[in-house]
Chain A
C-alpha cells in the first residue's frame, strides 16, 4: 500500500460547483498534513495546512480524520482558476521529510 494515496482524477466540474478530494495515508503515526497546489509545469505551492480541528480559508476547507486516516479538501464555488493538480502531503513527527501523494487533477469548466 502506498504511504499516501489520492484519486488522480481528473475531476471535471462546472464553475460554481463544490468539489471534494480525499487523501488516505497509511502510517498512523503521521502528524502533519498539508495541501499543495501545482499548476501544469510549475512548482507546487502551499495551499493550506490541515489541523486536527479542521480549518477553512475562504472557499477552501480542509479536514483531518485520524480514525480513518484520511484528509480532505473541499472547494466551494469553483473558479476556472482553481484548475490545477492538488497534492496531499504527509509528515511523520520527528522525520524531516514529507511524502507527497500523486495528486488529484481538477478541471473547472465554464
Chain B
C-alpha cells in the first residue's frame, strides 16, 4: 500500500508557542491530503481538507487562523498549530488520497502542550 510519513512523531511544547507538523506521501503523488485530530477514546475528527496549490477547506469549528495548513506540493502538506494551548494536546494524523477514495494515514503526531 501507499506510504505516508509524518514528522515529528511526538512533540512537547510550551503554551503559546507554535508547532509545525509535516506530512509526506513517500511513493505517490497525493491529490488530496487530510488532517485529523483524535482525542483519547474518541473518533478521528476531520479538521481540514487540503489540495495542492489551493487553500485548505476547514471543517466547522476549526479555526483556520490557529491551524495553518500549507500544501506546497503533491507530496507535502504541513499543519502549524499556532499559539498552542494545553487543550490543543491531541493526536494529529494526516492522510493522503492516492487512487480512488481510500486514504492512507501517516503514523500520527502526539502533541503535548504544557
**A interface, CB within 8 angstroms of B:** 32, 34, 41-46, 49, 87, 91, 96-103
Contact = CB atoms under 8 A, between A and B. Distances in A.
Contacts of A99: 46
Interface stretch (B14-22, B62-70, B81-89, B104-112): B104-112
Interface in B69-114: 91, 93, 97, 101-108, 110
Contacts of B104: 46
Contact of B44 (A32, A46, A96, A100): A100
A106 to B, nearest CB: 15
B61 interface: no
A49 B1 CA distance: 13
B25 interface: no
B60 interface: no
Contacts of A101: 43
Contact of B106 (A43, A91, A98, A100): A43
A27 B108 CA distance: 29
Contacts of B34: 97
B107 A43 contact: yes
A98 B105 contact: no
Nearest to A6: B43
A100 B101 CA distance: 13
Contacts of B43: 87, 100-103
B42 A91 contact: no
A98 B103 contact: yes
Contacts of B97: 96
Contacts of B44: 44, 87, 100
Given A96-B32, A97-B34, A101-B43, A34 B102 contact: yes
